[in-house]
């Protein structure tokens, strides 16, 4: 739904500082490698290669593995250490498989894509949100394959704008930007310029989707809410935008389901009150519910971001 950098939930309207944290597999060479092989090898063969690469990365990239396991222990304190270790390995594998599918999306046919993501639960929430005529602020987290959501909604005829900050690796930014451009998905880069805020507001006023990742925030002005029982802060930007434009906030997720994916939409909500905390609680509840349902697809490799 929104792109793969680690903290893109900050429109310029919200202030604060941004920080990126890359997984060991998030390298230009892996993206190009996956793109090339995706044209020639069957998906099942690519998944075998992805699993081998993920296992090697899990062993040789200790920092993201440690961070991931610490976040899992905090979120699921009743799981044994063995369960945490096994879950960590599955998450690495699923992350690598996501990269495989990410590389294949721009080459597979519409029919194959329909088989990969046959439906989205509660799609009427999106249709009802658009009926308001104010655009939609679509929010998600680092769970499942969020990039597939932008592609799927775009194929349904909705205009998609993805809010992001620069990755810090120009080659990765270029690869992702070119990929989205081919799918008619627009990227709005939040780089400190006041024009990014104007672009986001203009997109909503045109009745389009603005997609934002919201589960990681390191700015000083984040909105507090409990997340898995601990204090957490969410970006203020989506709430400010909703209040300023009247656009609904719609939590949405694309998660792996067997050999394909399924989409899940939660009920939309509006920021009619002056306080942001109720909105942050709604986001936290949606994220928790999805993570509990799909814990092996929670790609939380950053330190202390629960």
pLDDT value of residue 176: 58
Give the start-to-end residue ranges of the domains of the chain. Answer: 28-297
Instruction: Give CA–CA dist 47/6, Å, rounded.
Output: 24
pLDDT value of residue 239: 96
pLDDT value of residue 156: 80
| Residues whose CB is less than 8 angstroms from the CB of residue 236 and which lie 6 or more positions away in sequence, other chains included | 13, 14, 15, 16, 221, 222, 223, 276
Q: Which residues of the chain have pLDDT under 50?
A: 1-20
Q: What is the pTM of this model?
A: 0.84
- With left for phi above 0 and alpha for psi between -120 and 50, is residue 36 left, alpha or beta? alpha
Q: Where are any strands of DSSP class E within 101-168?
A: 120-121, 136-140, 160-164
What's 28-297's CATH class?
alpha beta
Question: Distance from first CA to last CA of the chain, Å, rounded?
Answer: 21
DSSP bridge partners of 230: 227
Computed on alpha carbons and rounded to an integer, the radius of gyration of the chain in Å comes to 18
Q: Where are any strands of DSSP class E within the chain?
A: 120-121, 136-140, 160-164, 186-189, 209-213, 223-227, 230-234, 249-257, 260-265
pLDDT value of residue 73: 96
How large is the greatest C-alpha to C-alpha distance in the chain, in angstroms? Answer: 54
Token couple for 127: 């249709």
Q: For residue 298, what is the DSSP state? A: B
pLDDT value of residue 106: 67
Parallel, antiparallel or unpaired: strands 209-213 and 160-164: parallel
Token couple for 88: 């960590």
Angle separating helix axes 170-182 and 28-38, nearest 10 degrees: 30
Nearest to 38 by CA among 115, 105, 95, 96: 105
Instruction: Give CA–CA dist 295/90, Å, rounded.
Output: 10
What proportions of the chain, in percent to the nearest 5, are helix, strand and coil? 45, 15, 35
């Amino acid at each position: 739904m929104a792109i793969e950098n680690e903290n893109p939930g900050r429109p310029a309207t919200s202030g604060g500082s941004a920080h990126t944290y890359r997984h060991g597999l998030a390298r230009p060479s892996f993206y190009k490698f996956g793109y090339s092989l995706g044209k020639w090898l069957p998906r099942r063969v690519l998944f075998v290669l992805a699993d081998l690469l993920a296992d090697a990365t899990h062993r040789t990239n200790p920092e993201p593995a440690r961070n991931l396991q610490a976040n899992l222990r905090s979120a699921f304190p009743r799981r044994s250490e063995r369960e945490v270790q096994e879950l960590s390995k599955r998450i690495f594998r699923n992350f690598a498989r996501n990269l495989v599918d990410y590389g294949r999306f721009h080459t597979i046919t519409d029919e194959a894509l329909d088989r990969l993501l046959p439906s989205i639960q509660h799609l009427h929430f999106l249709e009802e949100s658009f009926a308001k005529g104010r655009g939609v602020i679509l929010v998600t987290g680092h769970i499942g394959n969020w990039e597939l959501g932008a592609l799927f909604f775009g194929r349904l005829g909705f205009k998609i704008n993805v809010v992001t900050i620069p990755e810090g690796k120009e080659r990765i930014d270029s690869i992702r930007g070119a990929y989205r451009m081919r799918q008619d998905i627009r990227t709005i880069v939040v780089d400190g310029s006041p024009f990014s805020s104007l672009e986001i507001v203009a997109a909503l006023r045109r009745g389009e989707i603005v997609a934002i990742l919201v589960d990681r925030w390191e700015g000083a002005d984040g909105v507090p809410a409990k997340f898995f029982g601990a204090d957490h802060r969410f970006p203020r930007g989506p709430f400010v935008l909703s209040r300023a434009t009247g656009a609904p906030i719609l939590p949405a997720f694309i998660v792996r389901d067997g050999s394909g994916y399924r989409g899940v939409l939660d009920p939309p909500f509006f920021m009619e009150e002056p306080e942001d905390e109720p909105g942050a609680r709604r986001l936290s509840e949606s994220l928790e519910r999805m993570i509990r349902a799909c814990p092996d697809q929670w790609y939380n490799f950053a330190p202390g971001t629960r």
